[in-house]
Amino acid sequence: MHKVVAKSQLSPNVTRLDVVAQRIAQIRQPGQFVIVRRGEGGERIPLTIADADPAAGTIALVIQAVGKSTRELVALEPGEAIMDIAGPLGHSTELISSGRALCIGGGVGTAVVHPIAQGLKRRGVAVVSIIGGRSKEWVIFEPELARLGEVVVCTDDGSYGRHGFVTDAAREALAGGGIDIVYAVGPVPMMRAVANLTRPLGVRTIVSLNPVMVDGTGMCGGCRVGVGNETLFACVDGPEFDGHLVDFDLLMDRLSTYRDFEQKASTACSEGACKVGLK
């Protein structure tokens, strides 16, 4: 059992849980993730390790409540516990050791960008972060990223920072030159748009993919993605890949595979039938 020691609301549907996971906190690397199971019979959910405190033995999980299982997780309060946390899983981020990096986060993807920016800063790389949300209340991890370098905030409605998408600010940053690599994490259309921006400029672009994932060890095949001329598995070959080689159309199609099932489960949960595995 992994005790929840702290909880904070980052945006209207995004919650941060700091939980005890001593071994994971000590060895995790930027880009890696865990598989979480709330209770017996619960769904296995992949979550990025957004931060860690090795001394305290805790890791930070940032959860977007969009369905039954994630709503169950964010309902936890300090003192309660998560039954299983397996990890760290996946390859760590390929970090450059010098130069200037552009880190782009959209929505909850900003939490995934944070440990990448941390790792780059520790290596002495100059970090510029561009993050966005629908409006001010949806922007997350701005203070944390501001400690690591320059931050540009974009909102769709112009209520905070720049009015517009993160890709608009990214286009300007890239036009100025001097960017050695781009790390982009967020909705699939956003990552594809960033890759399309950087491809003609020849700027290497790393994206973090979020296909359906069950076991996290490459056995189920649920997280297969098309990268170049290969079929790879996000859990063991990723979750990060060369954005210029990713088949984003295939990724979007696979992400919608279980949408109807999730909607039914979410509706049932709203009606009070989501007690399985929560004892």
pLDDT tens, residue by residue, 81-137 = 999 999 899 899 999 999 999 999 999 999 999 999 999 999 999 999 999 999 999
* Mean model confidence pLDDT for the chain: 88
pLDDT digits (tens, 9 = 90+) for 165-220: 999 999 999 998 899 999 999 999 999 999 999 999 999 999 998 877 676 667 77
Q: How confident is the model at residue 277 (pLDDT cuts 50, 70, 90)?
A: very low
CATH class of 100-255: alpha beta
- Beta strand extents in the chain (DSSP E only): 2-11, 14-20, 33-37, 44-53, 58-64, 81-82, 84-89, 100-106, 126-133, 150-155, 162-163, 181-185, 204-208, 224-227, 230-233, 240-242
Give the amino acid at 124: G
Give the sheet arrangement for strand 204-208, strand by strand.
Answer: 162-163, 150-155, 126-133, 100-106, 181-185, 204-208, 240-242
| Residue 177 per-residue DSSP state | -
pLDDT tens readout for residues 23-56 = 999 999 999 999 998 888 778 888 989 999 999 9
Confirm whether 2-89 and 100-255 share one CATH topology.
no
Fold assignment, 2-89:
Elongation Factor Tu (Ef-tu); domain 3 (2.40.30)
pLDDT computed for residue 276 by the predictor: 43
Left, alpha or beta for 163 (phi > 0: left; psi -120 to 50: alpha)? Answer: beta
Residue 5's pLDDT is 95
Sequence spans of domains, the chain: 2-89, 100-255
Tell me the CA distances in angstroms from 77 to 4, 5, 187, one per residue in order: 7, 8, 28
- The percentage of the chain sitting over the pLDDT mark of 70, rounded to a whole number, equals 88
Indicate the DSSP class of residue 203.
-
